[in-house]
Amino acid sequence: MLTLYDYWRSSAAYRVRIALNLKGLAYQAVPVHLVKDGGQQHSADYRALNPQGLLPLLVDGNQRIAQSLAILEYLEERYPQPALLPRDQGQRAQIRSIALHIACDIHPLNNLRVLQYLSSELGVDAAGKDAWYRHWVTTGLAAVEQGLQQQATELSLGERPGLLEACLIPQVYNARRFNCDLHAYPRILAVVERCNSLPAFINAAPEVQPDAAVVP
């Protein structure tokens, strides 16, 4: 049985939940509350498992893997079918390029600890933090929109979503949570609408996770 250290609102963990569902892999979720108790990701117990102090963390037998993109690539190699990436090398590189843009260039700028640092250490007020958030998310999604326009099909695997959508849908969920205006990104919105009607995405959505009842 696979074990995922998870938090309902973690978009990086949400990527992994989608990928596990797309592959039809059963897993046990262990909730780590990112806010309660000052953030359970900082606890000694969790740090012993993942010194990075971030979610998600996947455990598969004696493998313990942090970093969502490393986890997605591991799942793809270990459980190849159904695939999250196309066979064509060039297409694979294009998809990784967009996924890495989301995971390395957009998401880190709006991560919880970065937002907390802005307010607690640099004295940025709530409006300033929201402006920061929206600036980096919309700038980043503009590049994603252009990348998607160059794709021959709406979904990255033709009729199926894969690794690209596993990264994109959580990022858009975050953007909506912070009221970012997404009207300039029709291709992204079309992909989100299609994916959010599929069971793999419906079942990975933050609001339906068992720990979602525990606020905030």
Output 22 or 54, the one with its CB closest to ligand GSH: 54
DSSP 36-70: GGG-GGGSHHHHHH-TT--S-EEEETTEEEESHHH
Q: What is the CA radius of gyration of the chain?
A: 17
Residue 55 CB, shortest distance to ligand GSH, in Å, is: 4
Residue 198 CB, shortest distance to ligand GSH, in Å, is: 22
Give the Cα separation of 150 and 157 in Å (integer).
14
Residue 157 CB, shortest distance to ligand GSH, in Å, is: 21
Output 65 or 191, the one with its CB closest to ligand GSH: 65
* Position with the least CB separation from ligand GSH: 113
Residues in contact with ligand GSH by the rule CB under 6 A? 10-12, 34, 39, 41, 54-56, 67-69, 103, 111-113
- Determine the 3-state secondary structure of 15 from DSSP: helix
Is the backbone of residue 24 left (phi > 0), alpha (psi -120 to 50) or beta? left
Output 10 or 21, the one with its CB closest to ligand GSH: 10
Residue 34 CB, shortest distance to ligand GSH, in Å, is: 5
As given in the structure block, the two tokens for residue 216 are 């905030």
Give the Cα separation of 131 and 129 in Å (integer).
5
Output 113 or 160, the one with its CB closest to ligand GSH: 113
Output 167 or 198, the one with its CB closest to ligand GSH: 167
Residue 46 CB, shortest distance to ligand GSH, in Å, is: 10
CB atoms within 10 A of CB 61: 9
